Amino acid sequence: MNTQSPLRFIKQLIYLACILLPLASCEKDASAPASDTIDYSDNWCWFENKQDAAGKDVDLFYVVPTCIWDYTDSLGQTRHHMDIFDAEQRALTDPSIQLAKSVLADSCNFFSPYYRQISMDSWLTLDTALIEERFKLAYQDVADAFHYYMEHDNQGKPFILAGHSQGAKAVIELLKREITPDISRKLIATYAIGYTVTPEELASYPILRPAQDSIDTGVLVGFNSVTRPDAVSPLFRDNVVCINPVNWRTDATPAPSYQGFTVSLDTTIHTLIVTGIDEDLYFIPSVEALLPKGNLHVQEFNLYKEDLRKNVWQRIRAYRKSH
């Protein structure tokens, strides 16, 4: 069984503040003016002011998961979206962005916009209509940032889209709404980790093409992880996109991880089953309704970090060979 040090476990609990299961399409949030826009020409609206986002011939555009809670503004009003200029909220967000950068961006220039993400409290309401209403503002920011990146920073380079949880929802929506045929020719792959894609979405959006191995390009890489089938989040029960990031197969072949556990894909529920891991280390009772005991959503970057790091390089190499 895989064991964890107390320090690592504490870090895992801290990371919980930076994830949450997303669910939503895009409707208006009455609590935040839709006319307000973020000026993404201001480098301060990007992680690390884009200071390291140069020098390589491939880019990665990353959208961070939920990292903030509801808060009260100076007028005494409860707000449900991140204030991207608030130092405390940015401090909550930065560790999650840094984790993704450390896992995914060895081979890439890294671009990650701050955006008015929905609060964790919003997801915990389980009110899908309310969630859908609030997500529109978050998506508006992500789309604006992406268009700014494409116009001013991409400079014709091939690129990767990536996101986790709410961020995965955002990059799926980018695929569905913003990726033109010209842009898609430069898209190496999309890593949408910890999210769900329905059969209806696959049928309606041909650009949502699930990955079948470790080197196909222009594809959607997605998966969710549990220790047992009954731990699947209720929000993900209709998901049909899943690939095993340890062996990069879409069948049930078990794959031993270098970390000491084994990962198998349950093809009936399109979810990864992880054995040889202590689920108690990852169980958070306060979010049990969303993440039942045995759900490993909060740890997917840590569980597969070396597999993902290697795979980014593999897909970049495959893209170069085919273009």
Cα–Cα nearest to 157, from 50, 59, 55: 59
Measure the CA–CA gap between 39 and 52, rounded to whole angstroms.
20
Q: What is the pLDDT of residues 235-251, one digit of tens each?
A: 898 999 999 999 999 99
Q: What is the pLDDT of residues 298-322, one digit of tens each?
A: 999 999 999 999 999 999 999 999 9
Mean predicted confidence (pLDDT) in 11-19: 49
Query: So what's the pLDDT on residue 16?
Result: 52
Task: Judge whether residue 149 has pLDDT over 80.
Answer: yes
The length of the chain in residues reads 323
Q: What is the pLDDT of residues 82-116, one digit of tens each?
A: 999 999 999 999 999 999 999 999 999 999 999 99
Element (DSSP H or E) covering residue 187: strand 187-193
Q: State the CB neighbour count (10 A cutoff) for residue 179.
A: 20
Q: What is the pLDDT of residues 258-313, one digit of tens each?
A: 999 999 999 999 999 999 999 999 998 887 888 899 999 999 999 999 999 999 99
Binning pLDDT at 50, 70 and 90, where does residue 6 land? very low
Query: So what's the pLDDT on residue 286?
Result: 80
Mean predicted confidence (pLDDT) in 171-196: 97
Amino acid (one-letter) located at 305: K
- Helix (H, G, I), strand (E, B), or coil: what is residue 170? helix
Query: So what's the pLDDT on residue 123?
Result: 85
Binning pLDDT at 50, 70 and 90, where does residue 147 land? very high
What percentage of the chain has pLDDT greater than the value 90?
77
CB 133 within 8 A of CB 148: no
* DSSP-H helix ranges across 111-160: 120-124, 128-148
In the chain, what are the domains? 43-224+297-322 (3.40.50)
Binning pLDDT at 50, 70 and 90, where does residue 52 land? low
Measure the CA–CA gap between 192 and 194, rounded to whole angstroms.
7
Average pLDDT, the chain: 89
Measure the CA–CA gap between 76 and 92, rounded to whole angstroms.
22
Query: So what's the pLDDT on residue 2?
Result: 42
Cα–Cα nearest to 138, from 86, 164, 173: 173
CB 123 within 8 A of CB 24: no
CA angle 208, 210, 214 (to 5 degrees): 135
CB 28 within 8 A of CB 136: yes
Q: What is the pLDDT of residues 25-39, one digit of tens each?
A: 333 333 444 448 999
